């Protein structure tokens, strides 16, 4: 598992016939207060856990799992991971937390057709994604994650409760699926998505100074050109309503 900085480890998604989200482990290893950002696709729990162990990180140091959002490619293997680190808390934005606690899985699958496909493919039953959430985030918080400070930014549009995590001193942004490398952005046609909201969220992120972009899929970028997010937002603006 590649180390991005002293306080950020990267676990690449293991895409097969469906995408598996990247996961990140945040926090100074010496703090023993680490956070796993996102889980991944159904069936990828062992891969993610083994990647953490291979990096020499004690599972007991993982204190929480923070979700950038709750699409299946991010939350699919959450229950598998929770089985191996049952002490870890679950944190996510309130809007998606409230849905999951009520057993509302519309955000997880995004669309009915996909739900049918996944239930068949993975043998998932209704209720598979009912979780108790320990901390509901709103955006605007600054989290102390293992002796590093990360700002929570609510960036809806790809999903209603998407959050970004921003480490201001090192200019690191974890935007979930809101913006990727190669001027790509997250899709905005799924349940809870909204083009104009996504435009606002991109403009919000464009105000940040970002050197390292760690998205949910595809390449990570360690030397992001200045103005990259603004340029991406402008390119997509005509499609976002």
Residues that bind Zn ion (CB under 5 A): 21, 71, 73, 177, 216
Give the nearer residue to Zn ion in terms of CB position, either 91 or 148: 91
| Residue 189: CB minimum distance to Zn ion, A | 12
Q: Give dist(CA 186, CA 217) in Å, integer.
A: 10
Give the nearer residue to Zn ion in terms of CB position, either 150 or 180: 180
Give the nearer residue to Zn ion in terms of CB position, either 21 or 23: 21
| Residue 177: CB minimum distance to Zn ion, A | 4
CB-based burial label for 94 (10 Å; 0-12, 13-18, 19+): middle
| Residue 111: CB minimum distance to Zn ion, A | 12
What letter would DSSP give residue 145? -
| Residue 178: CB minimum distance to Zn ion, A | 9
SS3 63: strand
157: left (phi > 0), else alpha (psi -120 to 50), else beta? left
| Residue 110: CB minimum distance to Zn ion, A | 8
Sign of CA dihedral 228, 232, 234, 240: negative
Burial 135-172 (b: 16+ CB within 10 A, else e): ebbebeeebebbebebbbbbbbbbbbbbbbbbbeeeeb
Q: Give dist(CA 206, CA 188) in Å, integer.
A: 18
CB-based burial label for 2 (10 Å; 0-12, 13-18, 19+): exposed
Give the nearer residue to Zn ion in terms of CB position, either 63 or 217: 217
Give the nearer residue to Zn ion in terms of CB position, either 61 or 240: 240
Give the nearer residue to Zn ion in terms of CB position, either 57 or 236: 236
Instruction: Considering only CA atoms, give the Rg of the chain.
Output: 17
| Residue 119: CB minimum distance to Zn ion, A | 19
């Amino acid at each position: 598992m590649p180390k991005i900085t002293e306080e950020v480890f990267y676990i690449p998604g293991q895409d097969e016939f469906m995408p598996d989200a990247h996961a990140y482990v945040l926090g100074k290893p010496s703090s023993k207060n680490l956070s796993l950002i996102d889980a991944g696709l159904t069936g990828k729990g062992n891969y993610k856990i083994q990647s953490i162990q291979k990096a020499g990180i004690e599972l007991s140091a993982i204190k929480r799992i923070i979700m950038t959002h709750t699409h299946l490619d991010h939350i699919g293997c959450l229950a598998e991971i929770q089985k191996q680190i049952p002490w870890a808390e679950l944190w996510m934005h309130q809007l998606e937390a409230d849905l999951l606690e009520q057993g509302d899985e519309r955000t997880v699958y995004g669309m009915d057709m996909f739900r049918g496909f996944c239930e068949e493919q993975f043998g998932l039953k209704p209720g598979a994604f009912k979780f108790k959430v320990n901390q509901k985030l709103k955006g605007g918080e600054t989290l102390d994650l293992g002796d590093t400070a990360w700002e929570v930014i609510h960036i809806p549009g790809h999903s209603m409760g998407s959050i970004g995590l921003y480490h201001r001193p090192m200019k690191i942004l974890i935007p979930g699926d809101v913006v990727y490398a190669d001027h790509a952005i997250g899709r905005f046609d799924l349940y809870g998505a909204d083009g104009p909201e996504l435009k606002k969220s991109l403009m919000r992120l464009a105000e940040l100074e970002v050197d390292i972009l760690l998205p949910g899929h595809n390449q990570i970028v360690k030397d992001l050109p200045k103005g990259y997010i603004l340029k991406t937002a402008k390119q997509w603006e005509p499609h976002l309503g």
